[in-house]
Structure 1
Amino acid sequence: MVTIPSGEIALRDDRIKATWTAQVHAFMLAPVPVTKALYDSIMHKSVEPQDESQTPVVDVSWHDAILFCNLLSRQAGLKVCYSVSEDGERVVCNAEADGYRLPTEAEWQYACKAGTTGYRYGELDDIAWYHENAEGRVQEVGRKQPNAWGLYDMLGNVWEWCWDLYDANVYGSYRIFRGGSWAEEARGCGATCRRRSHPTFRIDDLGFRLARSLTDTN
């Protein structure tokens, strides 16, 4: 896990022409998205095919990601972040727990930019797998250049679920995902590009990345 320093980030929603500034406390973020090998080991599945074990796991819903975070936290002896209702519909996050969780949207964008100010932290072909160079499929993690904070594949390869609701008043339970993917055109692979879908949604270019809060016990 990479320690991300505290700071602030300017967020915007082009749909409603709104901008706001979010404070980000120091936290930890995985240098790469969750791979098929890690996901399947925790979920007790066999990796098929074997040569794709180091590609990001895809076809995972937001609810799948929440379950994985709790299972991994328990296996690591950490306090779980998520409390899930019996019907699975209501999820509460304890951000002070030391277990694994999804990053917030503000954390994700702040970490992606890594102190830069542009739409991307480098030349797209150097940092991301996207429609023009991915050969129509997901690619192994960590093969493109990282950003200044040592994070790989923040843009391209797979979209990444975030914790946040997109707009509860308009879209109900829809959650945010960020970053672009192997199937995305260049314009969709940028630090401020926002997408959303229902938390049960699964598709072959959407995965997630692990975060952890920095607590007094760490």
Structure 2
Amino acid sequence: MKRVIIIFVFISLFFSCTSLQQPDLQLASMEFKHIPKGEFDMGTAKGSSDQQPVREITISQDFWLAKFEFTQAQWLGYMNKSIQEQRDLANPDWSLRGVGPHHPIYYVSWNECQELIAKLNRYYAKEIPSGYKIALPTEAQWEYACQANYSPKPLMDLSTIAWFDGNSDEQAHPVGKKNANRWGLHDMYGNVWEWCSDRYDHYDANELIDPKGPETGKVRSSRGASWHEGAGDCYSAKRDWYSADGRLYNLGFRLAIVPKD
């Protein structure tokens, strides 16, 4: 009897001290990689003022991030609009920069992403883990997940992980053709910029746990750079912004499954 009790106590202590790896999630054609909670240094002292100050951020709960950027086939399937129709909503005279079912969608606004997200949360309400929802990632979640990658260094061949102006032929490419980071995420650098949920502003240096950005503002943040940017712009702290109702030829998104507010 004592032996059984000792074994039970040992097992209880083991599981209470060990963070169990959660499984990846599959919702129809969308694959989400599990991202464990943790801490990381957000921002960079070498970048522009909107990437400072560098501070340690806590991601207090696990979440899932899409393995790939959202594709043109997925957008057509859920929103019934082709890349050509999305382009026409922006400006019919603008060019298409990469067309195909496995290419990332672009010319989509932040507001349109919210329409899609509302639809997906209804469709998959019974399949999403309890206490979670489909959303765009926060900037903190995005940068944390990106840093699982080997940050670009002078001797690294960036072309193995990213489409940028040095190898893109001035267009987006099918998702997943470059190497993934250690959490299994593809195209975190380059290909298309990715909308985040946050409003854009300079960082609040006191917001250190699950930061979500300012509560007011008309523009939204994006991350990751694109096929249009140079190698020097492909790093985890790089930020940009655009109007929530605006559409660009190199701006898309990837979805996340995050804790509900």
TM above 0.5, one fold? yes
Equivalent residue number for residue 21 of structure 1: 56
SS at match of 1:72: helix
SS in 1 for 2:43: strand
- Structure 1, unaligned runs of 5 or more: 81-95
How much has 1:115 moved relative to structure 2? 6.5
Selected match of 1:134 from 168, 174, 179 = 168
The answer to whether the 8 Å contact 2:72/2:82 transfers is no
Distance 1:19 1:110 in 2: 13
User: 1:18-57, CA deviations, whole angstroms, 9 ceiling, x for partnerless residues?
Assistant: 22222112100110010011111111235669x6011000
Query: Is the contact made by 2:34 and 2:63 (CA closer than 8 Å) also made in structure 1?
Result: yes
Give TM-score, length-normalised by structure 1.
0.81
Q: Would the alpha carbon gap of residues 21 and 2 (structure 1) be closer, same or farther in structure 2, given more than 3 Å must change?
A: same
8 Å CA contact 1:78–1:99 kept in 2: the answer is no
Q: 2:66 and 2:83 mapped to 1: Cα distance?
A: 21
Deviations 1:154-212 (A, max 9, x none): 0010000111111288x932211000101111111111111112111210110000100
The farther-off stretch of 197-206 and 14-23 is 14-23
Identity %: 35
Query: Alpha-carbon deviation of 1:72?
Result: 1.6
1:60-71 matches, cutoff 5 A? 60-71=108-119
Larger CA deviation: 64-73 vs 152-161:
64-73
In 1, the alpha carbon distance for the partners of 2:65 and 2:188 equals 11
Aligned-pair RMSD on alpha carbons? 2.7
| Cα distance between partner residues in 1 of 2:219 and 2:105 | 21
Structure with greater Cα Rg: 2
Check 1:78–1:208 CA distance in 2 against 1; reply closer, same or farther (3 A cut). Answer: farther
List aligned pairs for 1:158-177, cutoff 5 A.
Answer: 158-167=192-201, 172-177=217-222
The answer to whether the 8 Å contact 2:37/2:62 transfers is yes
Residue correspondence of structure 1 range 116-127 to structure 2 within 5 A:
116=150, 118-119=151-152, 123-127=157-161
Task: Name stretches of at least 5 consecutive residues in structure 2 with no aligned partner.
Answer: 1-31, 85-95, 203-213
What is the one-letter code of the residue matched to 1:55? H
- Could you tell me which residue of structure 1 aligns to residue 42 of structure 2? 11
Alpha-carbon distance between aligned partners in 2 of 1:176 and 1:46, rounded to the nearest angstrom = 24
Q: Deviations over 1:94-152 (max 9, x none)?
A: xx853310001111011011165x457x6311000011101111100000000011100
User: 2:70 aligns to what SS in structure 1?
Assistant: coil
Task: Give the corresponding residue for 1:75.
Answer: 123
Over 3 Å counting, the alpha-carbon distance change for 1:47 and 1:59 in structure 2 is closer
Q: Is the 8 A contact 1:175 1:199 kept in 2?
A: yes
Q: 1:111 aligns with which of 145, 150, 154?
A: 145
